Amino acid sequence: IDFIGTLSRSATLSLSLCFFGLVLCFLTDEFSLFYVASNSSSSTPIFYKIFCALSGYDGSMLFFLVCLSCWKTFSILRGFCDRLQRDLIITFNFFELGICSFILFFANPFARSLPNFPLDGRGLNPQLYDLMFFIHPLTIIIGFAATAVPCCYCLASMLNEKSTHFNFLTIRPHIVISWFLLLIGIFSGCYWAYNSIGW
């Protein structure tokens, strides 16, 4: 379990560095990346460039993977369900591996257009210039990633032959946190849609 836990924490650190690297690419106008050229430009304000990583599907999937890995690490560090910890970590890792494979083959934000790349990007979608752009994507993605904790706990409980009962109290805080974050995300998204496009 110690080895798997150390490996899992290393994976979380590596994925976090990947996402920060993507944000750095936006800040330094690295237009050789398709994703950066499609969602930013040299005239995009610095503060928006930080959040441009979440303005498209590829970057959002990477951030979701980072959040999922962080929730897994948080569960390990607080000794979350010691009896099921090995099965819980393995279940989390299967989730991560599946999403990582999907990102690698279908939604890679680090895909390059070398040697012919644009000198400037297309810029951020005008509808994303809103205060809700800093709230809605973050809360929705972190909230969805938080739902993986009770999901993985349930799967680990079913896979563990020694597990005789299901302890709902163990996962209740994670369910409440995910509901709270998703509630903020949905309401901010509703307000944003009403304000920006009149839905």
Q: Which mean pLDDT values do the consecutive 10-residue runs of the chain (199 residues) have? A: 73 93 94 92 91 92 94 72 72 88 93 82 86 92 92 82 67 89 94 79
CA–CA distance, 66 with 59 (Å, rounded to integer):
11
What is the model's pLDDT at position 2? 66
What is the model's pLDDT at position 141? 96
Please name the residues in contact with 183: beta carbons below 8 A apart, sequence gap of 6 or more: none
What is the model's pLDDT at position 9? 82
What is the model's pLDDT at position 22? 96
pTM of the model: 0.89
What is the model's pLDDT at position 80? 56
What is the model's pLDDT at position 165? 61
What is the model's pLDDT at position 196? 77
In 3D space, the residue among 139, 117, 131 whose CA is nearest the CA of residue 36 turns out to be 117
What is the model's pLDDT at position 63? 96
Q: Quick one: CA dihedral 99, 102, 105, 108, positive or negative? A: negative
Tokens of 192: 């944003």
Helix axes of 148-159 and 168-197: crossing angle, nearest 10 degrees? 150
